[in-house]
Amino acid sequence: MEIKNYNLEPNPKIVNTESSSDEIYLSIKIGNGQIGANKVTSNGELLAKGNLTEPTYIGDSSSLSNREIEIETNVLDVNTFTNRCVITTTIYNQDNKELYSKIDKGDAPENGVASFKGKYIINFAVLFFILLNTLLNQQLLAQTNSDYLEFSNLETPTSPGLILFDETPSSIEKPTTPQGLGLSLLGLGQNGGALEFAPYWLKDHPELTAKQMYTDKTPILSHFGISIAAINTDTLSFISGGLRTRVFQSYGKNVGKLNNIKTQIENALSDGDFEKVDSLRKEYVSITEKPIFNIGLAAALGASSSTNSYDDLELNRWAVWMSLNFRPKGNDFYFTVLSRYINNENYEGTNVKAGLVDLGTRLNYDILKFTVSLEYVHRMNFTRNIFDDYRLAVIGSYKLIDNIFITSTFGKNFSDVNNIIALAGLNFGFSQKKVKAY
């Protein structure tokens, strides 16, 4: 397991108390839906360890005064949307008065651990140290602002449209969109693809815990995605935009398992047992990626052009649909039921509007790195009163390496001619903060 260390500045941090009789409490919150734990020591003495979300007593100011307190916070990347880790360290007195608070951020290696290490000195009634600490903070703030400006000048945001059309191929490997960016290349040998990102993960969420991620039954914002797609055929060019989200999810009895694994991960992180952390992480992720039941909603709007020109783009299709996914035993077999309405403004180039309804199901089974699926969709055309159009396909997906998948499809597509499906494609997820494909 890869571990990335962060030494927090300034070093040490000065925490000023009002009285030598103050009792000192420490709280460390792990945000962004990740799992973390802590170990607090001073001169080799263990003061606290484990989950310190709630304020924890570590001593009185007279006994801690001018002693160096070391705090190590290990955060495990378990969030499938982002590997950004956010910790909020707060120190209180017995009156719940905040003496110190700081939010620190850092990226964990993919499926690895971000280890934050900081040193603190509890101090009271020593004016010299107060003034020195103020001066140091001002100097560090000036340096940080200077570094930030230089970094911004070196790396500017890249337009998703440029990425989609290969104008800036290097940004595909390291885009500037910080979280939840996915890219799909559809139909090898053809010109087409899609780009999708999750706006919610463009911002950090210090108060979002891992438990909230798997107990939230309506994760609408965290699963909300915006996409744009384009594809060229021999005669037409298509471009479309889409939205989708998850409106309901449930892990059923697996919530108890997740609570237990989370506690074990926290204990292992506080002990620095990263070999055990790695095996627990795999068990945790395998459950969080497989809710027992979930409901998704989506919508898309598309246009086409016969001249491959934006000037000739004509809006000709929009659709809304809902999917229900269910794992009967919570294991590797699951199925999806689909209901979709499609409105064609220019049906098959005849200037005839058409209302279509798709009803279908897809059976899936995961076998290690393989996923095998059988899909059937029945299409009803309410404009022409034809009720026997359908799509039937076998789909195979293989995980080449983490977050890069190759997918192949064979079967019959809608329509009476040119309806043989024989496609292959690649799904990528690229981001500086998380490599994940939708």
Same domain, 142 and 232: no
Question: Residue 311 in 3-state DSSP?
Answer: helix
Same domain, 190 and 144: no
Same domain, 131 and 174: no
Q: What is the pTM of this model?
A: 0.76
How far apart (Å, rounded) are the C-alpha atoms in residues 52 and 28? Answer: 5
Same domain, 117 and 177: no
156-163: Cβ within 8 A, 24+ apart: 160/195, 160/197, 160/228, 161/228, 163/195
How far apart (Å, rounded) are the C-alpha atoms in residues 310 and 334? Answer: 41
Same domain, 212 and 236: yes
Same domain, 126 and 165: no
**Residue 349's domain spans which residues?**
158-251+291-429
- CATH number for the domain including 24? 2.60.60
Same domain, 203 and 323: yes
- CATH number for the domain including 226? 2.40.160.40
Give the number of other Cβ atoms within 10 Å of residue 387's Cβ: 12
Residue 284 is assigned to a structural domain of this protein: no
Same domain, 77 and 168: no
How far apart (Å, rounded) are the C-alpha atoms in residues 385 and 228? Answer: 32
pLDDT at 351: 57
Cis, peptide link before residue 10, omega less than 30° from 0:
yes
Residue 33 is assigned to a structural domain of this protein: yes
Q: Per-residue pLDDT for the chain (438 aa), expressed as one digit of tens each?
A: 899 999 999 889 999 887 878 999 999 999 999 999 999 999 999 999 999 999 999 999 888 987 899 999 999 999 988 889 999 999 999 999 999 999 999 999 988 999 999 999 988 644 444 444 444 455 444 443 333 322 222 222 233 332 223 233 322 233 333 345 555 554 434 456 667 778 888 889 999 999 999 999 999 999 888 878 776 766 667 788 888 899 999 999 999 999 999 999 999 999 999 999 999 999 998 899 889 999 999 888 888 777 767 677 778 788 898 999 999 988 889 999 989 898 877 655 555 577 888 899 999 898 888 888 898 988 888 776 655 688 888 888 777 766 566 777 787 877 665 666 655 555 444 333 343 322
pLDDT at 403: 57
pLDDT tens per residue, range 345-393: 765 555 557 788 889 999 989 888 888 889 898 888 877 665 568 888 8
Same domain, 134 and 219: no
Same domain, 425 and 379: yes
Looking at 152, 169, 196, the residue that finishes a domain is 152
Same domain, 196 and 144: no
pLDDT at 254: 94
Q: Tally the domains of the chain.
A: 2
User: What does DSSP assign to residue 65?
Assistant: B
Looking at 152, 171, 192, the residue that finishes a domain is 152
pLDDT at 399: 75
Looking at 152, 185, 200, the residue that finishes a domain is 152
Same domain, 163 and 146: no
Q: How far is CA 15 from CA 41, 63, 74, 173, 198, in A?
A: 16, 14, 22, 42, 38
pLDDT at 71: 97
